Amino acid sequence: MSTRWARSAGIVLVLMSISLIPRLAGAVEAGFYVGGNYGQSDTELDIEPFQALALFFYDVSGTTFGERSSMLEDGKDSTFSFFGGYRFSKHWAIEGGYTDFGKRVYREHTTGRFGWELPDEVPLHAIDQKITTHSTALTVSGLGILPLSYRSELFARAGILYAQNAVKIRGTFHADSRGGAASSWLAGVGGSFTFADVYAVRLEFQRAFDIGHPGMQEADMDTITLGVAVTF
């Protein structure tokens, strides 16, 4: 994620803590909670692995190229998650959830002929390819919590995730898909504000390490989200 996003999240959390520290932290009851988040994910990907995968189809079909152009869209997309947890005390909780990190898209346009076609008799084809990567994950993490007042607190998390990484290829003359799974680590920091005793609004920055299809490219995935939790 860009440093601007990370800096903005940090400023919000610091201002929250400064404004609320004078108030004494209240007691927090243990119990179960559930919630959901929505926001933006961001990762930095290289175009070369996508180009190599796109070339595989041309190599198999013996394509003779005319003009070729390609583009990898930026690494940003929307993200959402659902979570549930149990709070043991005012300082500790454990949480599990499901996260959809969104999609990354590569597009390519090529003109050419296939190997079995006669160059003198067949005009150049327009061949388009779209490669989409999509990552989701099941997560388990522990939270360390710092109450700032009766209604507000900061928290940090560390945990593990099990990611499913799908790659879909759609072209003018072909289609293919593949998948892969891998475990990794995650970490994050955030803040929450409680209202009506059982509802909490959360702002969180989180990083999942080495997300992506193992056969293509893995990179850290950053998310910044706003969410709501309900305590039972």
CATH code at position 87: 2.40.160.20
Helix, strand, or coil (residue 145)? strand
Q: What is the DSSP string of 53-66?
A: HHHHHHHHHTPEEE
Is the predicted pLDDT of residue 185 greater than 60, yes or no? yes
Predicted TM-score of the model (pTM):
0.81
Distance CA 219, CA 132 (A): 16
What count of other Cβ atoms lies within 10 Å of the Cβ of residue 204?
A: 22
Query: How high is the pLDDT of residue 61?
Result: 67
Extract the tokens encoding 54: 């796109």
The region, left, alpha or beta by phi > 0 then psi within -120 to 50, assigned to residue 205 is beta
Query: How high is the pLDDT of residue 26?
Result: 47
Is the predicted pLDDT of residue 71 greater than 80, yes or no? yes
16-51 pLDDT per residue, tens: 444 444 444 444 568 999 999 999 999 998 998 888
Residue at token pair 């939270």: 143
Mean pLDDT of the chain: 84
* Percent of the chain surpassing pLDDT 90: 53
Q: From 130, 37, 41, 38, select the one nearest 77 (Cα to Cα).
A: 41
Q: What is the mean pLDDT of residues 162-171?
A: 92
pLDDT band for position 176 (50/70/90)?
Answer: confident
Query: How high is the pLDDT of residue 208?
Result: 97
Q: What is the DSSP string of 8-33?
A: HHHHHHHHHHHHHTTSPPPP---EEE
Residue at token pair 């997560």: 139
Number of domains in the chain: 1
Is the predicted pLDDT of residue 164 greater than 80, yes or no? yes
Boundaries of domain holding 94: 3-231
Q: What is the DSSP string of 181-196?
A: EEEEEEEEEEEEEEET
Q: What is the mean pLDDT of residues 91-114?
A: 91
